Structure 1
Amino acid sequence: MRSTGSRYRVFTDEQWARIEPLLPSNQGRRGHPFGDHRRVVEGIAYRYRTGIPWRDLPREQFGPWQTVWKRHRRYAADGTWDRVLTQVLAEADAAGMIDWAVSVDATIARAHQHATNTTRPDQDTGGRANHKKLPVTEVEPPGHGIGRSRGGLTTKIHHAVDGRGRPLATIVTGGQRNDGAVLAQVLAEIHVPRPGPGAARTRPEAVIADRAYATGVIRTELRRRRIRAVIPDKKDQIAARQRRGSRGGRPPAVDGQAYRRRNVVERYFALAKQWRGLATRYDKLAITYRAAVTVCAILTWLRA
């Protein structure tokens, strides 16, 4: 059951009990051990759910906003949220809950002016240290993951979701990046350990995607990895094949019944963007924005 005063909370007691042991305590390091884990994590979720500035977090509910921000910043830099999601995915896979017919797509988020008053998007920020006092495993991508597209300064979230629309992998890039060019990186992010002996699962049974992914390079790579491609041809590819007649070769087979399931990724985007801090990007750093996307993914699996 959720505690009283729960309009500020998104995690039930049962859900919190699952992730609390996975969060670092800072024991054995310099400084005080982390305290009030739940209050801080609920503050992180509340900020992204409402889209308010960090300074406007209700102090009586979540404590000093600086503590909430610094904890999120640290967890984003050291990969804590990715490790939590990996463990949640491992438990789900052990229970047979993951549908490995994976749908892939991307969605655009407008970058607010507060997210863009830093290094300009056309300048390289890749490999830059995040903070000399923080343990760094996540590297800030070029241009802070903000690019120029027809919609202005935007960020693109690339997701791979399972057959029931629950996220398995996330990549954040500039909004101008082509969806298909990032597919290999998205699939490389799928990593679900097994509870017993054996390698982690990294290969879906099928990849379901729209025509933006219909390239020969992608089909060849999926074939090499023995992943079934459910991707329809582009209209110009169909026309070119018809013009060549018998020399055009056979069109790729597409399972129409399986392709109908592609909308699960669109439904997840609609769900995630109910968090206003994800629908519009306010974060200057791509790693903190991606970490918030990961927190939303963790909550989605816990609810499952």
Structure 2
Amino acid sequence: MATAVDTRTRRLTDSQWALIGPLLPSNQGRRGHPFRDDRRVVDGIIYRFRAGVAWRDLPRGEFGPWQTIWKRHRRYAGDGTWDRVLQALLSQADTAGLVDWDVSVDATIARAHQHATNTRRPDQPTGAFSNHKNLSFAEAEPDGHGIGRSRGGLTTKIHQVVDGNGLPLAIVVTGGQRNDGAMLEAVLNDIRVPRPGGGRPRTTPDAVLADKAYGSRINRQMLRSRGIRCVIPEKSDQTAARKRKGQNGGRPSKFDEDAYKDRNVVERSFALIKQWRGIATRYDKLAITYRAAAVLHAALTWATLLGEVA
């Protein structure tokens, strides 16, 4: 029988933990003193980002020492644990036919709090950061920690790919001033869904839905070369330039208006992820720990779906 859970401080359900718990390295054996209270610690990580409190302000009576929770999240972010958890859940979902491979791509801005910016960082470049390759911290943490200057001041941008149902497949973090369209290839390259029988993971969607910011000729050629159907409206200046050239302007890009109506699922996905106050506003100095929170949120989303269909 499921135990009663205080929803103010606990976010993991029994069905979610049954899927996520066995995937954590602490349950797979390690040298030295084994981790304890895994579920309690993960609950503390979730609570911290959901409530947007400082790590030191975590309720000790509910979650134990804040240092333990911070160190565990930092460890799991740095060694790629949260990425492996998400990939394992995506593999289960794809095997069950739950992944819609007509994906949508977009980005959202998060204001960086002063606690996230009081560190040495160059204004440029801000880098693109993802850690599905389990890089070391020195290799993974981008210059500038993924914080850049935009019209909103010091900001971070979360680039995300979601499936046709609005569930996250890949997440990349950059500085807030980075152009959305220039990041399309990098974000698509972050898709990695392992196959149960082994072999190369699936990395290519069937179609990409995106707004005009992604409609450059380079992006269209890239999608065409990878065999991905492009559902991106043509920019007005591109249309005007083509018409000025007359017969030499070539044919207009194919555009499926009906399919494009489903692009809004990525906007709804951002609305959900920003319900976690620690993601809507960035308090973390390190891009590696900030992005890991978004990956953890994605893992919980897929674990919820898998738990419902089990």
* TM-score category, normalised to shorter length: over 0.9
Aligned to 2:8: 7
After superposition, the C-alpha distances for 1:184-234 in whole angstroms (9 at most, x for unaligned) are 111111111111144211110000000001111111111000000000111
Secondary structure of residue in 2 paired with 1:274: coil
Structural mapping, 1:122-201, within 5 Å: 122=123, 136=137, 139-201=140-202
Structural mapping, 1:276-287, within 5 Å: 276-287=277-288
Aligned to 2:213: 212
| 1:170 Cα deviation from its structure 2 partner | 0.5
| 1:246 Cα deviation from its structure 2 partner | 1.9
Aligned to 2:104: 103
Q: For 2:289 and 2:19, how far apart are their aligned partners in 1?
A: 23
Aligned to 1:130: none
| 1:119 Cα deviation from its structure 2 partner | 1.3
| Cα gap change, 1:199 to 1:156, in 2 (>3 Å) | same
Deviates more, 1:88-97 or 1:112-121: 112-121
Aligned to 1:29: 31
| Cα gap change, 1:69 to 1:262, in 2 (>3 Å) | same
| 1:73 Cα deviation from its structure 2 partner | 0.5
Aligned to 2:59: 58
| Cα gap change, 1:137 to 1:114, in 2 (>3 Å) | closer
1:156 counterpart letter in structure 2: K
Q: For 1:37 and 1:94, how far apart are their aligned partners in 2?
A: 27
Deviates more, 1:188-197 or 1:169-178: 188-197
Q: For 1:191 and 1:23, how far apart are their aligned partners in 2?
A: 19
Secondary structure of residue in 2 paired with 1:7: coil
Secondary structure of residue in 1 paired with 2:245: helix
Aligned to 2:236: 235
Aligned to 1:292: 293
Aligned to 2:73: 72
Aligned to 2:132: none
Contact (CA 8 Å) 2:215, 2:232: kept in 1 or not? yes
Contact (CA 8 Å) 1:115, 1:283: kept in 2 or not? yes
1:273 counterpart letter in structure 2: K
| Cα gap change, 1:253 to 1:28, in 2 (>3 Å) | closer
After superposition, the C-alpha distances for 1:248-272 in whole angstroms (9 at most, x for unaligned) are 1111010011100000000000010
Secondary structure of residue in 1 paired with 2:8: helix
Contact (CA 8 Å) 1:78, 1:138: kept in 2 or not? no
Contact (CA 8 Å) 1:101, 1:204: kept in 2 or not? yes
Q: For 1:147 and 1:135, how far apart are their aligned partners in 2?
A: 23
1:199 counterpart letter in structure 2: R
| Cα gap change, 1:138 to 1:192, in 2 (>3 Å) | farther
Aligned to 1:49: 50
| TM-score between both structures, scaled by the size of structure 1 | 0.93
Any unmatched runs of 5+ in structure 2?
128-134, 306-310
2:11 counterpart letter in structure 1: V
Q: For 1:87 and 1:6, how far apart are their aligned partners in 2?
A: 26
Secondary structure of residue in 1 paired with 2:44: helix
Contact (CA 8 Å) 2:126, 2:175: kept in 1 or not? no
Structural mapping, 1:231-270, within 5 Å: 231-270=232-271
Contact (CA 8 Å) 2:116, 2:284: kept in 1 or not? yes
Q: For 1:137 and 1:300, how far apart are their aligned partners in 2?
A: 30
| TM-score between both structures, scaled by the size of structure 2 | 0.92
After superposition, the C-alpha distances for 1:65-113 in whole angstroms (9 at most, x for unaligned) are 0100000001010000000000000000000000000100000000000
Q: For 2:157 and 2:201, how far apart are their aligned partners in 1?
A: 28
Secondary structure of residue in 1 paired with 2:110: strand
Q: For 1:180 and 1:125, how far apart are their aligned partners in 2?
A: 16
Identical aligned residues as a percent: 67
Aligned to 2:308: none
Q: How many residues align?
A: 297
Contact (CA 8 Å) 1:121, 1:146: kept in 2 or not? no
Any unmatched runs of 5+ in structure 1?
127-133
Q: For 1:140 and 1:157, how far apart are their aligned partners in 2?
A: 15
| Cα gap change, 1:135 to 1:250, in 2 (>3 Å) | closer
Q: For 1:140 and 1:85, how far apart are their aligned partners in 2?
A: 20
| 1:123 Cα deviation from its structure 2 partner | 6.1
